[in-house]
Amino acid sequence: MSKVERKVRALVAEDGEMREAIQAVLDRASDGEVKWVDVRDDITSGQWGRLIEKGVLVDGESGFALADRDAIAAGLEPEEDDSGSAASTGPDTETPEGASWSKWDKLAGLVTVGFFVGYMMEPVRNIIAGAVDLVFGPLLNVVPFYVVVMVVALATGLYSTLLRAGLMDMERMSQYQDRMKEIQERRKEAKERDDQEALDQIQEEQMEAMGDQLGMFKEQFRPMVWIMFLTIPAFLWMYWAVGYRGSEAQYELGQLVVPIAGTVEWTAGIVGPIQMWIVWYFLCSMAFTQIVQKSLNIQMSPSSS
């Protein structure tokens, strides 16, 4: 279903009289264009304005052009479900469908919350870090700790990019943004016309569109759950290995030479209380994430139409 068809169905669902108004516009349109004088005896000025506001009518050469005649006509037809019977169309037809979480998403979120306990309870931290140490521990016998942190950061950048690209529906995100942008533009135009009736209607639409904000949050947070599910254990391992906050270090990690600060311990505070190993990890993670995104040509933000 095209965007124009969805808009027509939404208009008809909101106001049953819009069906006759839209049909009148279709009947009077000549070469795909129609003027107000052609239809003013058949529709009201309010209905005419709604068609323009919703983008069913767009600027033409000598009047207003039909955005898509076939899609408009299709929007006037009863929508059929899988059984072939007519399906009802609610007023939110043009609102993007909200993202749904699978049982695996919810399970990953639950386990991730459990991982956070590792920051507060040493037994939990030791179990999680000990399991991860089976993977990263042997690397410390081959390369320095700063290289291991770079490996962790590279892995983080790779799977976070792939997860966001795979789990976020950029088309739906664009729909959310387009709807909010459309409402804002109409509000601005209504203010310029000093049209209080239109402003009141747009205000109601803005309240209804608050659900879009929740939808965008769900879209953005879904991949974050999986990213944290994979990242927190690795972070707990580094926490455990360096002996963060006075706990016993598990390895002799040596020192690191950094600009300005010179030779420092991994547990030295570099940016206020933030220790060197955390700063090094985040610098590497940000750098590798950008490299991965550019290399794979993956767009991380939705594009508005």
pLDDT, greater one: 255 or 287: 287
Say yes or no: 138 and 231 in one domain. yes
> Does 229 fall in a domain?
yes
Please report whether residue 87 resides in a domain: no
69 and 108 both lie in a single domain: no
**Residue 124 counted as domain residue:** yes
Average pLDDT, the chain: 79
CB-based contact 75:5 (threshold 8 Å): yes
pLDDT band at 81 (very low <50, low <70, confident <90, very high): very low
> What was the pLDDT predicted at 155?
92
Residue 177 domain-assigned (yes or no): no
**Residue 30 counted as domain residue:** yes
124 and 18 co-located in one domain: no
Find the mean pLDDT for residues 225-252. Answer: 83
Element (H, E) at 271: strand 269-271
Q: Do 69 and 81 touch, CB atoms closer than 8 A?
A: no
| 139-175 b/e (C-beta count within 10 Å ≥ 16 → b) | ebeeeebbebbbbbbbebbbbbbbbbeebbbeebbbb
What pLDDT, on a 0 to 100 scale, did the predictor assign at position 86? 44
Same domain, 65 and 117: no
* pLDDT band of 55, cuts 50, 70, 90: confident
Residue 15 counted as domain residue? yes
Terminal Cα distance for the chain, rounded:
17
Question: CA nearest 52: which of 40, 32, 67, 74?
Answer: 67
More confident residue, 222 or 21: 21
Say which range, 31-45, 49-63, 69-83, has the weakest mean pLDDT. 69-83
H-helix or E-strand spanning residue 224: helix 210-242
What's residue 153's pLDDT? Answer: 92
Give the Å distances, CA to CA, from 62 to 7, 27, 171, 230: 24, 17, 34, 59
Pair (149, 69) in one structural domain: no
- Whether residues 229 and 159 share a domain: the answer is yes
Q: How many CB atoms lie within 10 A of CB 89?
A: 17
Query: Average of pLDDT values for 83-94?
Result: 42
Per-residue pLDDT, 83: 44
Q: Identify the pLDDT of residue 134.
A: 92
Query: In this structure, are strands 255-258 and 79-80 parallel, antiparallel, or unpaired?
Result: unpaired
Looking at per-residue confidence, does 157 or 121 come out higher? 157
**Segment 286-298 mean pLDDT:** 87
Same domain membership, residue 137 and residue 235? yes
| DSSP letter assigned to residue 22 | H
Give the max Cα distance, the chain. 87
Mean pLDDT of 12-36: 85
In a domain, 86, yes or no: no
Question: Which pLDDT tens digit goes with each residue over 159-197?
Answer: 988 888 887 767 777 777 777 788 788 888 888 878 787
**pLDDT at position 99, please?**
53
Q: How confident is the model at residue 13 (pLDDT cuts 50, 70, 90)?
A: confident
Q: Do 36 and 156 lie in a common domain?
A: no
Same domain, 228 and 110: yes
Report pLDDT for 90.
38
When divided into structural domains, the chain yields a total of 2
Higher local confidence (pLDDT), 173 or 66: 66
- 128/272 same-domain check: yes
What pLDDT score was predicted for residue 82?
44
Same domain, 113 and 29: no
- Please tell me the predicted confidence (pLDDT) of residue 92: 40
The span from the CA of 126 to the CA of 165, in Å, is 33
Question: Of 45-54, 82-91, 221-230, 243-252, which gets the smallest average pLDDT?
Answer: 82-91
| Same domain (yes/no): 228, 269 | yes
Give the domain extent around 118: 103-170+207-296
pLDDT tens sequence across 133-166: 998 888 888 888 989 999 999 999 999 888 888 8
